[in-house]
Amino acid sequence: MPEFDPTIFKAYDIRGIYPDQLDDQTGYLIGNALAVYLKPEQVVIGRDMRLSSEALFDAFTRGVTDAGVDVVDIGLVSTDGLYFAVGKYGYDAGVMITASHNPKEYNGFKICKNEAIPLSGRDGLNLIADLAAQNDPKIRPERGAVVRRDISADYTENCLSYVHSDALRNYKVAFDAGNGMAGLTLPPILARINLESIHLYFELDGTFPNHPASPIEPENIADLIAKIKETGADFGVAFDGDADRMFLVDNQGRALGGDMVMAMVAQKLLADHPGETILYNAICSRAVPELISRLGGTPVRTPVGHALIKPMMREKNAIFGGEHSGHFYFRDNWFADSGMIAFLVCLELLSKSGKTLSQIISEIDPYFRSGEINSEVSDQREVIERISRSYDDGKQDRLDGLTVEYDNWWFNVRPSNTEPLLRLNVEADTREILKEKTDALLGLIRG
């Protein structure tokens, strides 16, 4: 067996290159360690279409059943489908075998316990890593059983329960599934709503032959934008590899940030549920809390990351939470994220408004943003402190990295959890201020 590589344990999941960093034996040890640590009666396991997912499922399942714990195999699903299954059917733990948007050579595990509560690097994954690294699996005389369950019909009903299907207009919509799991989960939903849908890359293919399944990078939605312009589609929708994140492109071919999608979802939910609390992360546009407050809701700012946001949502009983990265969390979905539900909610908002997507956003968003700019630095902390001293006349906080606010612009700079990178986001009232401030900050960061 290759030496156990602890670096595959990240802040929010387990992820590495298969089989160099994460092989079948490591998958077996992690499965066994999860069963020993959580002591569940049943573990529900789903997987994506990556080439190594079947082998990792077999290995992980053997680890769990060797520890005397039963496995429920839900087959090929999206990550939000796995969370749904844990919440809906009351399982003790859930595991999604996926590397999300990463390149084809990667794979990994997203793990949650009962009620779809995620395990993070500091709360559970660290202890599973310690047990797995001992390479001393616990094998019970009575092995666990494996049963198969199909969740597709219940998953589809759950997603559609968030909207009034008869209120949805017959838009022409281009969908890019990126050869990922949306190619499996979208068709049953599209069959139930009145849309003229155009399909790009719905074939499940873990080699990602057309483009990486990471729509947050502009080059990976170029085909979708071209298809919108070619067909005159009203808008476009893209999903990442495990289909838990969703991105919108407007009728003019402009990609929306996750924070603008979040603002749309918030607008719809607050219309139906006035006065509710909504969480947004520290990188979201000022337009998001301004909209929530304007509509009578209570905005609460959070750090980045689902393992931090979901517990805060439970604590505050927030109806919704969102991130700039395209994760959208719903209280009535066991506080778990679902790009599919977010898409449907946005579709109903558009349908009832009678406006185009670009018109909706123009009413919400008066600002200009840099997008996330990554810079490689050797000493993240030292650079952040240098920036803090240079902008000590602004309003500063350390909720997530360093945020500094001024009347007509603000920025956040935060370290990557996994790489020697600093991530910079800048927002300003004008394009000129945005360029000036972004250039100055990058000069400080990159020397």
> Helices H, strands E: what count in the chain?
14, 22
Tell me, what's the pLDDT at 208? 98
Average pLDDT, the chain: 96
Q: Can you tell me the mean pLDDT for 269-286? A: 96
For residue 2, pLDDT over 70 is answered with: no
The pLDDT of residue 277 is 98
pLDDT, tens digit (0-9, with 9 covering 90-100), for 290-308 = 999 999 999 999 998 887 8
Average pLDDT on 147-174 reads 97
Full-model pTM? 0.95
3-state secondary structure of 332: helix
Question: Are 109 and 30 a contacting pair, CB within 8 Å?
Answer: yes
Instruction: Sort strands 402-405 and 409-415 into parallel, antiparallel or unpaired.
Output: antiparallel
Amino acid at position 152, single letter? S
**In the structure encoding, which two tokens stand for residue 159, read together?**
């997603």
Q: Residue 307: its pLDDT value, please? A: 77
Under 8 Å CB-to-CB from 239, ≥6 apart: which residues? 175, 176, 177, 178, 180, 181, 182, 186, 213, 215, 245, 246, 247, 339
Closest CA to 362 of 224, 226, 254, 219: 254
Q: What percent of the chain has pLDDT over 70?
A: 99
Q: What percent of the chain has pLDDT over 90?
A: 93
Mention every residue, 6+ apart, whose C-beta is less than 8 A from residue 291: 263, 266, 267, 364
Domains by residue range for the chain, with CATH: 6-150 (3.40.120.10), 152-366 (3.40.120.10), 368-446 (3.30.310.50)
Given 52, 78, 100, 285, which residue is catalytic?
100
Chain-centroid distance, C-alpha 66: 32
Mean pLDDT for 87-103 is 97
Q: Cα separation of 368 and 260, whole Å?
A: 12
Contacts of 263 (CB under 8 A, 6+ apart): 285, 287, 288, 291, 364, 365
Q: How far is CA 7 from CA 100, 265, 416, 418, in A?
A: 17, 36, 14, 9
Residues in the chain: 447
Cα–Cα distance for residue pair 413/258, rounded to 1 Å: 18
pLDDT, tens only, 116-128: 999 988 889 999 9
Which pLDDT score, from 0 to 100, does residue 1 have? 45
Look up 351 and say whether it is catalytic: no
